[in-house]
Amino acid sequence: MMRKSIFFTLSVLFFVFTAQETILAQEKADVSTTTGQPYEAAIGGRISNGLGLTYKKSLKDNKALEFIVSFPSFDGIRASALYEMHESIEDVKGLRWYYGGGVIVRYYNFEFLDDYFAFGVSGIAGLEYKLNNKPLLLSIDYAPGIYIFDTFANFGYGADWGSGVGLSVRYILK
């Protein structure tokens, strides 16, 4: 059981970093000079339905990639890769709203059930605030998921509507 969890985690991380490198190879422009984005990359913690990590990489034209890995329970892992569009809110300096979508995978190793695996699509919408003169970002978002393949639902579909609300604090790397 533990081998499956480790293999799954490594597979998700490989997918996330491969997807990032593929998209970044297509984004050859300097982010900070072409878009006016307030940062190039940020990493931090996330509280949602459990604790997690988040990494966001700015692209050109006010777009970004966000990777979230969370641990909704001690026996599972949830990972998503999201493509986001950011828009400034003119009345409040440092505040932006964003929306987008991507893929989500989920794995649980329940003690009383068989292993549970799900794959699907996820949306995201939220607010992000960059603290003035500090390398910190605060965000709140809603990221529901719809599972196209869900072994818990007898290989049917499933939904993840309620556990998608999250609070993140990120440190700006660049």
Which residue type sits at 47?
A: I
pLDDT at 76: 80
- Residues 157 and 174: their CA atoms lie apart, in Å, by 40
DSSP reduced 3-state for 70: strand
User: Using CA atoms, how far apart are residues 16 and 132, in angstroms rounded to an integer?
Assistant: 30
pLDDT at 133: 87
The pLDDT value recorded for residue 72 is 77
Tell me, what's the pLDDT at 48? 85
In the block, tokens 């913690």 appear at 45
Weakly modelled stretches of the chain, pLDDT under 70: 1-37, 73-75, 110-114, 150-163
Locate the domains of the chain by residue range. Answer: 2-172
Would the pTM of this model clear 0.85, i.e. be above it?
Answer: no
Backbone dihedral angles phi then psi of residue 113, each to the nearest 5 degrees: -135, 170
Amino acid at 32: S
The CATH topology of domain 2-172 is Porin (2.40.160)
The neighbouring-strand residues paired with 87 are: 97
Say what the pLDDT of residue 2 is: 46
Q: What's the N-to-C CA distance of the chain in angstroms? A: 39
